[in-house]
Chain A
Amino acid sequence: MNPLTPAEMVGAIGQAAQAAARTDAPLDDFQRSQLLSAYSATRHLAVELESYPAAVAAFCAGLADRIDARPAAELPGEVAGTAAQLRVTTDPRDAGEVVSALLNLLRAHPSPAAAALRGETQAALRDLCDREVDLLADALERR
């Protein structure tokens, strides 16, 4: 659910490398810090490209199952399409849009079923956040 796509990040890294390569004078501390940030970005991005799609797919499928398991009559009508949307979502940014809209609906609905599904959605998001951190930390802290 992070802003900027991986492709946009690749472009940003490339621009930083190009700017450094075109500098005639020795790099100063600020310019070196730019290259180090670009290097750090490659390390994060490598994990994201390799590991996020499966994690996001599991999150979306699991949440879709939880929605389908709830009686539709006890939930806001618009929720009905959310599970189907999640089952075809592979981009984490799209998942962010769909789940944000879902939570908006659930917050505004007074039924216990909506409150319960909101809690389940939060728990699924928590697990996804922990998974994202673990994936990055495990890879980045492996020296």
Chain B
Amino acid sequence: MIAIASRTEAVEAALREAGELEPGDEVRDVEQLPGGWSRHSFVAHAALGDGDQRRYIVRVKPTGALLDTDLALEYRVYAALAGTGLPAPRVYAFVASDDTPFDGPFIVMEHVDGTAPNMYSRPDQARLADDWAGPRTIAADMVEHLARIHGLQGDELPADLPELDFDAVVARWRSVYEERHLVRDPVIEEAFEWVAGRAPREPWPGLVHGDYRIGNTLIAGGRVRAILDWELVHRGDVRFDLGYLAMPRAAGKHLRAHSPLMGTFADQEWFLERYAQLTGRHVDAEVLRTFQMLGIMMLLATQLTAVWMYAHGRTTDVRMAWSRFSFAGLRQDMTRLMGW
């Protein structure tokens, strides 16, 4: 109870310092939300002096986070997005200290009404298929927002965003495999050889979201209301986001595919054609395969790290140990991409 009380106080203090809470307002409770891997998420309920209530989301980088990404930079990215017209939650406060009741630094941000679809859930897949068969507003939002992200100019976002070209991305995920694997995996090692020899001749530089999928959006009223989880954002080859969306895993395949739609929400050919209309860029099918593999590499890096953290006592979160069961499907996807 002491920890919970101190969490409410920490969130209230941060919001008060940011000028978001008036003197008669108070944060009543903070509750952890399911999901969240390298960031933990909480919802904070505030009672306002005028009798209204308001919710906030608290996004925490816990000690020993799954990916060592910069929460301060993520905060500044969210703040910058407010001026771009892209749907993203407003941010109110960033507490940089590691020594907080959340066991790490945290952001307090707007609670946006909406639901993040679970790409593995058959009912969620069915709802997204209905949108595709009907109004296609979610599919249209997804491609239009992605095209806008890729077209954002340098002066619209923090100047210190990481810059990672193709080789740097391969090296980044390969180094995670080298450092964090508990057992050698011949399929993964062959896949690194395969992808390293397929660097595209012409880069498509731009802003890369890095984790662009339907599960990182909030949907309400058949529209995308917010794009979340910008922790992997960087400047690089924007085809990473396209390849990532084209992975079977992004369509909810754990072991077998159950949705024929790209990312569970759109026909792949339609999506890429619409993307080409919006950006003037047609992605080559072979290059897309390369970036699909790069997307799998990123997922593998997170899953390897999750298992490594559990094995080394850095976390007691059983989902991290469970990650070892995600390798079977990803390994199969890699063998197919390599044409074995």
Q: Which residues of A contact B (CB under 8 A)?
A: 1-4, 8-9, 12-13, 15-16, 19, 28-30, 32-34, 37-38, 40-41, 44, 93, 96-97, 99-104, 107, 121-123, 125-126, 129-130, 132-133, 136-137, 140-141
Contacts and interface: CB of A to CB of B under 8 A. Distances in A.
Given A1-B186, A129-B187, A34 B193 contact: no
Given A8-B311, A103-B190, A107-B193, A122 B340 contact: yes
Contact of A126 (B33, B324, B340): B340
Contacts of A41: 318, 321-322, 325
A28 B32 contact: yes
A122 B339 CA distance: 10
Contacts of B189: 100, 103-104
Contacts of A102: 186
A3 B322 CA distance: 10
Contacts of B182: 3-4
B331 interface: yes
B332 interface: yes
Contact of B32 (A30, A93, A107, A133): A30
B181 A3 contact: yes
Contacts of B308: 3
Contacts of B340: 122-123, 125-126
Given A4-B321, A30-B33, A123-B340, A100 B186 contact: yes
B185 interface: yes
Contacts of B181: 3
Contacts of B23: none
B132 interface: no
Given A2-B324, A136-B325, 17 more contacts: A1-B185, A1-B327, A2-B328, A3-B181, A3-B307, A4-B311, A8-B311, A30-B34, A32-B34, A40-B325, A44-B325, A97-B183, A99-B186, A133-B328, A136-B328, A137-B255, A137-B256
25 contacts: A1-B185, A2-B183, A2-B325, A4-B311, A12-B310, A15-B318, A29-B33, A29-B34, A30-B32, A33-B35, A34-B317, A34-B318, A34-B319, A37-B319, A96-B184, A96-B185, A101-B184, A103-B186, A121-B186, A122-B335, A122-B338, A126-B335, A129-B328, A132-B328, A137-B256
Interface of A is mostly: helix
B262 interface: no
A2 B331 CA distance: 10
A97 B189 CA distance: 11
A100 B185 contact: yes
A30 to B, nearest CB: 4
B183 A12 contact: no
A121 B9 CA distance: 59
B31 interface: yes
Contacts of A33: 34-35, 319
Given A4-B310, A15-B316, A96 B328 contact: no
Given A2-B328, A100-B184, A137-B255, A37 B322 contact: yes
Contact of A129 (B184, B256, B321, B335): B335
Nearest to A93: B183
Contacts of B319: 33-34, 37
B205 interface: no
Nearest to A135: B328
Contacts of A38: 318, 322
A125 B325 contact: no
Interface string B19-34: 0000000000001111
B108 interface: no
Contacts of A100: 184-186, 189
A15 B310 CA distance: 12
Interface in B297-319: 304, 307-308, 310-311, 316-319
Contacts of A104: 189
